[in-house]
Chains A and B, each alone.
Chain A
Amino acid sequence: MRFMILAKRNFQEVWLDPLSIGLVIGLPVGLLLMFQPIGKLNPFFATTNLAPGLAVYAFTMLTFSSGMILARDRESALLSRLLNAPLRANDFISAYSLPYIPVAIIQIALVFGVGRLLGLEISGNAGLVFLIIFVMSIGYIGLGMILGSLLTSKQVPLVWTAVNILTIFGGAWVPLEALGGAFQSAMKALPFAHTIDAARAVMVHGVGFSDIAVDLYWVIGYTLVFFTVGTFLFRRRMVE
């Protein structure tokens, strides 16, 4: 379990960087509070409807943190020092991905916890909401591994901005229907809108598993692709 030592350090990197903690925790909760008065005027921004989108939006910060930490470690040669240690490929992949899972759980708990204080209600199965959102969080961590393995710490924020925009327009806090046409179709080809729509359907309309199964498969499929590609690219970095 030597990888846990490195995983602990990566976990610490998120919590010791004020910018990182502000983005990971502060931003989604801040947005939830900011949209609360608007929610009284427009049902799209009502806390129950908005919370799944903001939880998914919060995961873009996981992509940012995981991508930046990996890119910085590559640039500073810390990664090559670590690669020289007697750890196996799976140890490294675990150490650069697992620490973000508790961060994702904390994000989900905070968004839904603060949401609850603001009147959030879940009509359907809360476990189903957690499942689909949680699977998506792993996809975002995989995306971070892809960015961190391929890009420099200056390039990561640029590509992350694109991920961020796609998540926002995937329905996180912009109604997807308002975009319409080809853009809406394009967003439906990505996993973000599927996650948000499915979680909303369970929370607001109380639908069951069979109604969101297709969405869940989309999310699982994309998560597997992101994670597999991220793992492949990371392994390629290990021994040239």
Chain B
Amino acid sequence: MSADPSPQPVSRRLVNALLGLGALGALGGMAGAVLAYLWPQPGQAAGSDLLTGTAGPLNPQAVGEGQGVVGRSKVGKVLVVRQGGEWIGLSATCSHLGCTVSWNPASKQVECPCHGARYGLRGEVLRGPARQALGRVELKVDAQGIHVAAAGG
């Protein structure tokens, strides 16, 4: 770009283009920064293989015989039921529309409060509107708490 007194249209277009580029670059940089800043971060229990409640890892001793509890883990929300001395793990997300199910010790069924779906302890659907069974989750209980393995079928 030479500084001649009567600039050619090419030079004018070039300057305009570069100016536009500069402005776009700055705006793009700002947009990128804002996106990175607002990008959703993984939650606290996302990497944990220990089932966590609201106040830290779930304590297996707090779950009595015939009772159930829901916790978070790296495979999502898991319902844990202690039945007949065994620890049963099921995905706690209702297959209908995604509400969190819970264990009813009186009826001995997994119940969803949103639309009344019912599941058995093997995850099978006992009553709709759910159609798909709940996935089984392999559990391992030790002194640290309740560990989840990979989610099963």
The finding on whether chains A and B are genuine partners in a shared complex, rather than unrelated, reads no
Q: Identify the A interface with B (CB < 8 A).
A: none
Residue ranges of B at the interface with A (Cβ–Cβ < 8 Å): none
